[in-house]
Amino acid sequence: MAEVQSVQALASSLGALPPEFVRPEHEQPRATTFRGAAPPEIPVVDMSSPDAGRRMAEAAAEWGIFQVVGHGVPADAVAALQRVGRGFFALPQEEKQRYAMDPGEGRTEGYGSTLRKGDLEGKKAWADFLFHNVAPPAAVNHAVWPESPEGYRDANEAYCGHMVRLTRELFGRLSAELGLDEGAMAEAFGGDDVVLLQKINFYPPCPQPELALGLAPHTDMSTLTVLLSDEVQGLQVFKDGCWYDVNYVPGALIIHIGDQIEIMSNGRYKAVLHRTTVSREKTRMSWPVFVEPPPEHVVGPHRQLVADEFPAKYKAKKFKDYKYCKINKLPQ
């Protein structure tokens, strides 16, 4: 099994940031984060309000991101997911190593680190992670789910059940605001076969956070991402030439619009460009759930959203082919 060289272990022994983590100046948080007095506010939508669908659609079109409260995910399910996630990263390195991913051996789920591979310039991000599919049952491999801490499987399965329900509700409202049937978006992405991938991001304290990133700028290749964050500041989004902090809202879940919704909506909703910063003093953790079409499922602009005056902006493509091109930075 390939050994994971973790940022968590590296961070405990450093006094200065190694050069492979120093971002180019045009990407460094200290130089590119908006510091004005009144940044625009990323929308926070109460899903129980009568105008929730309209406000989510407006945010999806303008920002590609919004936060939701009144989402119906119980606080105890959230707390249990966070407890077992923190517990996993508190395990000894040799125990975490049991679940190491190794794409060369066909293990594409499990425990890993951004130390494995840099970007095209050789720069690395400041993060470790654990991820695995949680739905549908046919896509789940429990062998890559940690046995410790106690209750890991129960907490993830319970939280996943709420994510399946919430995802359908989000799809339905975003579909209706496009003038489509509420079930149109779910159908476009594979219906009951849609894949939910649970990830835990772990960003340890960084000796020079003004020079580093936890995750480099990107859009998610998924349909949407439901992100649970702790209270440590870190998520930033790009809009109108600036990087803006996403403020922590207690009890909220952050919804990222991904590439597949942008494609399906023929560009009416926008995938959000985002990145993650890190802290000098504090560990930050987040729990994103990526909602993806099945690998063989074809996604393209919805036929009702294409007309002579609104030609298709994107090619229809199997999700596995889209994913391959995106990961390998090939033209779509």
Tell me: pLDDT of 284 over 80.
yes
Higher per-residue pLDDT: 106 or 97: 97
**156 phi, psi to nearest 5 deg:** -70, -40
SS3 assignment, position 154? helix
Asked if residue 2 belongs to a domain, the reply is no
SS3 assignment, position 182? coil
Q: What confidence category does residue 66 fall into, taking pLDDT thresholds of 50, 70 and 90?
A: very high
Q: What confidence category does residue 4 fall into, taking pLDDT thresholds of 50, 70 and 90?
A: low
Asked if residue 235 belongs to a domain, the reply is yes
Q: What is the rounded radius of gyration, in angstroms, for the C-alpha atoms of the chain?
A: 19
Nearest to 230 by CA among 250, 210, 213: 250
How is residue 143 written in tokens? 């062998």
Query: What integer pLDDT is reported at residue 119 of this predicted model?
Result: 53
Give the domain range for residue 163.
Answer: 7-328
Asked if residue 204 belongs to a domain, the reply is yes
How is residue 256 written in tokens? 């990222």
How is residue 74 written in tokens? 């119980």
Question: pLDDT tens, 109-161?
Answer: 999 987 666 554 578 999 999 999 999 999 999 999 999 999 999 999 999 99
Asked if residue 1 belongs to a domain, the reply is no
How is residue 63 written in tokens? 């920002």
Strands 65-69 and 253-257, sheet pairing = antiparallel
In angstroms, the CA 44 to CA 235 distance is 15
In angstroms, the CA 94 to CA 305 distance is 52
Asked if residue 150 belongs to a domain, the reply is yes
Query: What integer pLDDT is reported at residue 97 of this predicted model?
Result: 92
User: Pick the catalytic residue: 220, 239, 270, 317?
Assistant: 220
Higher per-residue pLDDT: 18 or 196: 196
Nearest to 170 by CA among 182, 181, 180: 182
The chain-wide mean pLDDT, for the chain, equals 93
CATH of the domain at 197: 2.60.120.330
User: Pick the catalytic residue: 102, 218, 313, 321?
Assistant: 218
Query: What integer pLDDT is reported at residue 1 of this predicted model?
Result: 47
Question: pLDDT tens, 298-332?
Answer: 999 999 999 988 999 999 999 999 999 998 889 88
96 is an active site residue: no
Please state the rounded mean pLDDT for residues 259-280. Answer: 97
Q: Which whole-number Å values give the CA distances from 298 to 104, 162, 321, in the listed order?
A: 27, 26, 9
Tell me: pLDDT of 173 over 70.
yes
> Token match 């200290």: residue?
30
220 is an active site residue: yes
In angstroms, the CA 99 to CA 89 distance is 12
In angstroms, the CA 319 to CA 91 distance is 35
Question: pLDDT tens, 29-56?
Answer: 988 998 887 788 899 999 999 999 999 9
User: Pick the catalytic residue: 71, 274, 297, 302?
Assistant: 274
In angstroms, the CA 168 to CA 191 distance is 9
Return the percentage of the chain with pLDDT > 70, whole number.
95
In angstroms, the CA 29 to CA 215 distance is 12
Q: Do 72 and 66 contact (CB within 8 A), yes or no? A: no
Tell me: pLDDT of 22 over 80.
yes
User: Pick the catalytic residue: 199, 320, 323, 326?
Assistant: 199
SS3 assignment, position 267? coil
Asked if residue 283 belongs to a domain, the reply is yes
Return the percentage of the chain with pLDDT > 90, whole number.
79
Total count of domains within the chain:
1
302 is an active site residue: no
